Amino acid sequence: MSNDTNSLLSVRGVHAAAGGKPILKGLDLEVKPGEVHAIMGPNGSGKSTLARVLTGHESAEVTAGEVLYKGQDLFELAPEERAREGMFLAFQYPVEIPGIANSTLLREGLNAIRDHRGESELDAIDFLQIARAKADILEMDHAMLSRAVNYGFSGGEKKRNEVLQMLVLEPTLAILDETDSGLDIDALKIVAKGVNALRAENRSFIVITHYQRLLDYIVPDVVHVLADGRIAKSGDKDLALELEAKGYAWLEEGANA
């Protein structure tokens, strides 16, 4: 893979450990503005670890390699600075935060990002208008905005709430970690609609998924397979179909061959 200076994100030879155990073993990935990359791979292959490395979660310990984001050394930035620079993670397991209203979190987050960009903070009324319009896209009840963040939400509601936050925060690089798992087909279509509504020339996505199904609705530019701590294979959207048909074992055989 080339070290393209036009990349939004360049992951170069990253090794990372979780709980002392090496998980990522020399991972490379180039994401250009406007691209949608899908990352697939068996359970435990390190997909979420990659998301944690990129967003700065301390449980993912980077032992080698570098990551450039917008041309700067990503590891120099604290997690909140990465967020303010437009990096967003839709968590595989969204965290419940009793006591903080969804709308409060969204407003604080959006204003932190706007502040970072030198834009004025939004007042409560303007903000609420934006938040409601985005909730409408996802067919979410406005009452969800005043509920505590993910607190007592069903699995599907949590996933949808992640996408709502993404729509409000309008990231430059959105990482979706198994946002489709646990969703029925209707919910999946709605989530895909939310993601597609955000697709733009200057915005990129890394879509981590287990199932080819999601990629029928969010059509990726590139599909990668993560195995044995590296990108074992990359291809176009047909790779996902092939994986679906043959299973990951096929790939591991190939990798070991």
Partner 1 sequence: MNAPEQIERTDKAALNPEIDDLTKRDYEWGFVTDIEQDSLPPGLDEGVIQFISAKKNEPEWMLEWRLKAYRHWLKMTEPTWALVDYPPIDYQAISYYAAPKSADDAPKSLDEVDPELLETYEKLGIPLEERAALAGVAVDAVFDSVSVATTFKDKLADLGIIFCSFSEAVQEHPELVKKYLGTVVPTTDNYFAALNSAVFSDGSFVFVPKGVRCPMELSTYFRINAANTGQFERTLIVAEEGAYVSYLEGCTAPMRDENQLHAAVVELVALDDAEIKYSTVQNWYPGDKDGKGGIYNFVTKRGACRGDRSKISWTQVETGSAITWKYPSCILQGDDSIGEFYSVALTNNRQQADTGTKMIHIGKNTRSTIISKGISAGHGQQTYRGAVKMLRGAENARNFSQCDSLLMGDKCGAHTFPYIDVKNPTAHLEHEASTSKIGEDQIFYLNQRGLDTEDAVNLIVNGFCKEVFRELPMEFAVEAQKLLSVSLEGAVG
Ligand X SMILES: Nc1ncnc2c1ncn2[C@@H]1O[C@H](COP(=O)(O)OP(=O)(O)O)[C@@H](O)[C@H]1O
Q: Does 48 bind ligand X (CB under 6 A)?
A: yes
**Contacts to ligand X from residues 127-166, by CB under 6 A:** none
38 is a site residue for ligand X (CB under 6 A): no
Give the DSSP letter string of 77-127.
S-HHHHHHTTEEEE-SSPPPEEEEEHHHHHHHHHHHHHHHTTPPPPPHHHH
Residues 166-205 binding partner 1 (CB under 8 A) are 169
Closest CA to 209 of 189, 223, 196, 195: 223
**DSSP label of 139:** T
- Which of positions 78-117 make contact with partner 1 (CB under 8 A)? 78-80, 83-84, 88-89, 91, 94-95, 97-101, 104-106, 108-110, 112-113, 116
Distances (CA, A) of 62 to 41, 50, 176, 211: 20, 10, 21, 28
Q: Is 19 in the site for ligand X (CB under 6 A)?
A: yes
For tokens 């069903």, the residue is 154
58 near ligand X, judged by CB under 6 A:
no
Q: How far is the CB of 163 from Mg ion (least distance, A)?
A: 17
Q: How far apart are alpha carbons 232 and 39 in whole angstroms?
A: 11
Query: Can residue 49 be called a binding residue for ligand X (CB under 6 A)?
Result: yes
Q: Interface with partner 1 by CB under 8 A: which residues?
A: 55-58, 78-80, 83-84, 88-89, 91, 94-95, 97-101, 104-106, 108-110, 112-113, 116, 148, 165, 169
